[in-house]
Amino acid sequence: MKRIATLTLVTVMGAAPVLSGDYSKHVDNSRATAREFMQTLKQDLKKGMQEGGPVNAVSVCNLAAPGIASTYSVRKGWEVGRTSLKPRNPDNAPDAWERAVLESFDERNCAGEDPAKLEYYEVVTADGKRELRYMKAIPTLGLCLACHGEHLDSQVRTRIETLYPHDRAVGYQAGDIRGAFTITQPLDHE
């Protein structure tokens, strides 16, 4: 994929991105998808934790999230996923564009913006085709600390280390940015 140089991107990456053209409907659709994804995931996590504790719920974030993501991708022909600067699953590692956006989210968070409201979008050209890329930050909540916090129960830790030997997604505190939803919508149809 053709990527925009990080430096150029950072200079245009304000709180209110400017798009050349009216893509407000596309942006709204991406926003709605990120919101729906978050709600489904939170519900599934809460239910999993209530039913079998965090050891059982590991498989919710493990299996349900990629499942939810691929449902959206198949339904809409989009790419929908989650990414992070410290991913648990290496498949979720950011590409150059996503990394730059995640870094800008951390900077905006440090500058006092509410992490629950951080988003960024931009029309980019990849292989000669335009696409709308959208990201929305995912704040760390109390509920997340059982698996992403500083002190993990030893059984949870073992389960995670077995599934994810390269895990980097621990040591977070409530309010930190855990990662982001990332959504790519093609704008040019065949």
Site residues, ligand HEC (CB under 6 A): 42, 45, 54, 57-58, 61-62, 65-66, 82, 84, 87-89, 92, 138, 140-141, 143-144, 146-148, 169, 178-179
Of 54 and 104, which CB lies nearer to ligand HEC in the complex structure? 54
What is the nearest approach in angstroms of ligand HEC to the Cβ of residue 62?
A: 4
What is the nearest approach in angstroms of ligand HEC to the Cβ of residue 72?
A: 14
In the sheet with 129-139, reading across from the earlier edge strand, the strands are 79-83, 177-186, 129-139, 119-126
Query: Which H/E stretch holds residue 69?
Result: helix 65-76
Strand intervals (E) in 16-126: 79-83, 119-126
Nearest alpha carbon to residue 179 among 78, 69, 98: 98
Of 54 and 184, which CB lies nearer to ligand HEC in the complex structure? 54
Instruction: Give the count of alpha carbons within 13 A of 181, CB side only.
Output: 29
Of 23 and 146, which CB lies nearer to ligand HEC in the complex structure? 146
Of 21 and 67, which CB lies nearer to ligand HEC in the complex structure? 67
What is the nearest approach in angstroms of ligand HEC to the Cβ of residue 187?
A: 26
